[in-house]
Amino acid sequence: MSKKVIVIGSGFAGLSAASHLAQKGYEVTILEKNSIPGGRARKFEHEGFMFDMGPSWYWMPDVFEQYFAQFGKKPSDYYELKRLDPSYAVVFGEGDTMEVPADMQKLEAMFERYEPGSSAKLRQFLKEAQYKYEVGMNEFVQKPAHSIMEFADVRILMSLFRLQMFTSISRHIRKLFKHEQLIQLLEFPVLFLGATPENTPALYSMMNYADMALGTWYPMGGMHKIVEGMVSLAKELGVEIRLNEEVQQIYVPNGHATKVITQHGEYAADIVVGGADYHHVEQRLLQPEHRMYSEQYWDKRTMAPSSLLFYLGVDKKIEGLHHHNLYFDADFKKHAVEIYDNPKWPSDPLFYVCAPSVTDPSVAPEGMENLFILIPLAPGLEDTEAKREEYFNVVMSRLENLTGQNIRNHIVYKRGFAHRDFEQDYHAYKGNAYGLANTLLQTAFLKPKLKSKKVSNLYYTGQLTTPGPGVPPSLISGGVVANEIFKAMKP
């Protein structure tokens, strides 16, 4: 008789873990509190507009290829990928926009225009970043990170210097480049990792390799097409997905979970996988004696940012927008400090606009625009309607000024989403949007463990444990935890 596994949450990590376990012969049920699967990558529709609610960047296509390949599939079995060119635009001010080309020769030429001689330095920078990416993806992220001894491997120890774990990415970039706009371009991918570039290890220049060498892609129909593909695969493997089933308790007699209780019923379990917010699963679904960490422990963790999001339907096309648009017309460093070092509502926020209807006409009615606006914020801030509206008007005034077009009078749909929504919809600790920050002291074996030491058959997966935040790491996390379960259950 096959073992019964209950997976709490149907985000990328939960779906990944469920599919890997079902492939190994387990009887898997996913319990999802919301009415649609996908976790933060849910979607919603309104009068012809289709909005992705969370992730909007498709980076590291190799991770998605490897994920589906483990089941004899490929991404194209479920969705059509399109490489974006330009990958994105960075707006530094009125009439000052950097369009980042997908072609490497064109990218080098762009660097030369900003800083003569920088193309050779870019090649050097990306060569080093490629090494970090390949070592990181092949040696680090697939490990369960139970202890430091997993990393006591000669190859890893020898590579520590080249990985630049103890040099900041800001210092690394500034040794090579002098033009401030090129520096901001190279620093932006780490903005969501949980620390300022000055406090983020240069290891994470691997993200620049993912960005500039591997490219920025888009699944036609929206990011939720990935979720639909993963759900289809999971069901093909025999996974049962039960929606509107919010877990209220993990029942643990004698240190072993035997069932999971929702508002609608009880589910017997031989193994439980927490794919929902780690803090919530541990602090709210378990009795105190079964928790590994205290509230004080969690309060001392450095969280990745939260976000203020706006989903907008606009009844006209907006000239000059690309699919991805980063607005760095404010003080980059100041906003980063106000997220990480001195948490508060930013005095002059950076923001990001995704306009998927530029690429994909299916996500908006004909002749209209679908906009997703994101302002990165510190977690744990007081979130009020007044604050949301204040910041909406701040960014819309700048967006209208920089595009030279009236947008607010053409908005036919508007929805905001911030801290309290992240808490309500995902039980996100302190309303975070991205999980646990990738700081040096929260890397690998220093993250919350993926296996409980108090409950013998309870495991965790997702952005608050190994390997970390983001869609590709979450896919990997599900596979890592499934492999640990399989090894533990072998006779």
pLDDT digits (tens, 9 = 90+) for 23-46: 999 999 999 999 999 999 999 999
What three-state secondary structure class fits 376?
A: strand
Q: Are 37 and 66 members of one domain?
A: yes
Q: Are 234 and 190 members of one domain?
A: no
Q: Are 210 and 225 members of one domain?
A: no
Average pLDDT over residues 476-489: 94
- If you average pLDDT over each of 139-143, 152-156, 277-281, 334-338, which comes out highest? 277-281
Check pLDDT > 50 for residue 152.
no
Q: Are 206 and 277 members of one domain?
A: no
List the one residue out of 65, 325, 359, 113 whose CA is nearest residue 214: 65
Q: Are 240 and 204 members of one domain?
A: no
pLDDT tier, 155 (very low <50, low <70, confident <90, very high otherwise): low
Residue 231 lies in a domain: yes
Residue 446 lies in a domain: yes
Q: What is the pLDDT of residue 135?
A: 85
Check pLDDT > 90 for residue 88.
yes
| Domains in the chain, number | 2
Q: Helices 104-114 and 180-187: crossing angle, nearest 10°? A: 140
Q: Which of 163, 191, 214 corresponds to the end of one domain?
A: 214
pTM: 0.95
Check pLDDT > 70 for residue 154.
no
Whole-number Å distance between alpha carbons of 77 and 228: 11
pLDDT tier, 194 (very low <50, low <70, confident <90, very high otherwise): low
Q: What is the pLDDT of residue 164?
A: 72
Q: Which two tokens stand for residue 74?
A: 């490929």
Choice among 150-159, 192-201, 282-291, 424-433 with the minimum mean pLDDT? 150-159
Q: Are 209 and 225 members of one domain?
A: no
pLDDT tier, 219 (very low <50, low <70, confident <90, very high otherwise): very high
Q: Which of 162, 189, 214 corresponds to the end of one domain?
A: 214
Question: With pLDDT > 70 as the criterion, what percentage of the chain qualifies?
Answer: 94
Residue 48 lies in a domain: no
Average pLDDT over residues 192-217: 88
Average pLDDT over residues 60-85: 98
CATH of the domain at 24: 3.50.50.60
Q: Are 185 and 257 members of one domain?
A: no
Residues facing 314 on adjacent strands: 369, 411
Check pLDDT > 50 for residue 237.
yes
Characterize the bridge pairing of strands 271-274 and 306-314: unpaired
Choice among 116-125, 133-142, 389-398 with the minimum mean pLDDT? 133-142
Q: Are 154 and 210 members of one domain?
A: yes
Q: Are 206 and 227 members of one domain?
A: no
Q: Which residue has the higher pLDDT, 162 or 392?
A: 392
Q: Which of 214, 244, 269 corresponds to the end of one domain?
A: 214
Mean pLDDT of the chain: 93
Q: Are 153 and 171 members of one domain?
A: yes
pLDDT tier, 233 (very low <50, low <70, confident <90, very high otherwise): very high
Residue 198 lies in a domain: yes
Q: Please return the burial class of 51, using the count of CB atoms within 10 Å of its CB with bins 0-12, 13-18 and 19+.
A: buried
Characterize the bridge pairing of strands 306-314 and 369-377: antiparallel
Check pLDDT > 90 for residue 139.
no
Q: Are 225 and 160 members of one domain?
A: no
Q: Could you tell me the CA-to-CA distances from 295 to 284, 431, 439, 453 in Å, in that order?
A: 11, 16, 20, 17
Check pLDDT > 90 for residue 340.
no
Average pLDDT over residues 414-422: 98
Residue 255 lies in a domain: yes
Check pLDDT > 90 for residue 483.
yes
Structural domain boundaries, residue 225:
4-41+57-72+221-301+437-489
Check pLDDT > 60 for residue 151.
no
Q: Are 194 and 249 members of one domain?
A: no
Check pLDDT > 60 for residue 181.
yes
pLDDT tier, 206 (very low <50, low <70, confident <90, very high otherwise): very high
Residue 207 lies in a domain: yes
Residue 402 lies in a domain: no
- Phi, psi (rounded to 5 degrees) for 419: -45, -55
Residue 226 lies in a domain: yes
- Phi, psi (rounded to 5 degrees) for 16: -65, -50
C-alpha 459: how far from its chain's center?
Answer: 21
| 171 contact partners, CB below 8 Å, separation of at least 6 | 198, 202
Q: Considering just the CA atoms, what is the radius of gyration of the chain in Å? A: 22
Average pLDDT over residues 244-261: 97
CATH of the domain at 209: 1.10.405
| 128 contact partners, CB below 8 Å, separation of at least 6 | 162, 164, 205
